[in-house]
Amino acid sequence: MRYAIVIEQAAGNFSAYVPDLPGCIAAGETLKAVEANLRAAIAFHLEGLREEGLPVPIPVSQVNYLDIAA
């Protein structure tokens, strides 16, 4: 599966979340670290859903960019 993620720069680190997996978040000091931490968080999140017998959400979020004149 391929989930859209959102990474935001915070004060001194990065935070990230998965719109299609509410509550699935991660942080890291670098982009590489936050991506690795989020991969682990997604795996843990999905494992928990499966163990509880809950459905795994199908990815539906999309990422697009808009060019805006400054």
CATH at residue 34 = 3.30.160.250
* pLDDT for res 1: 87
**65 part of a folded domain:** no
* pLDDT for res 70: 82
Strand order in the sheet with 14-17: 6-9, 14-17, 25-28
Distance CA 6, CA 63 (A): 9
**17 part of a folded domain:** yes
* pLDDT for res 38: 98
Which among 11, 9, 6 has a CA at the least distance from the CA of 25? 6
**39 part of a folded domain:** yes
* pLDDT for res 17: 98
Domain of residue 26, residue span: 6-51
**60 part of a folded domain:** no
Counted domains in the chain? 1
Distance CA 29, CA 40 (A): 16
**26 part of a folded domain:** yes
**46 part of a folded domain:** yes
**33 part of a folded domain:** yes
Q: What is the pLDDT along the chain (70 residues), one digit of tens a residue?
A: 899 999 999 999 999 999 999 999 999 999 999 999 999 999 999 999 999 999 999 999 999 999 999 8
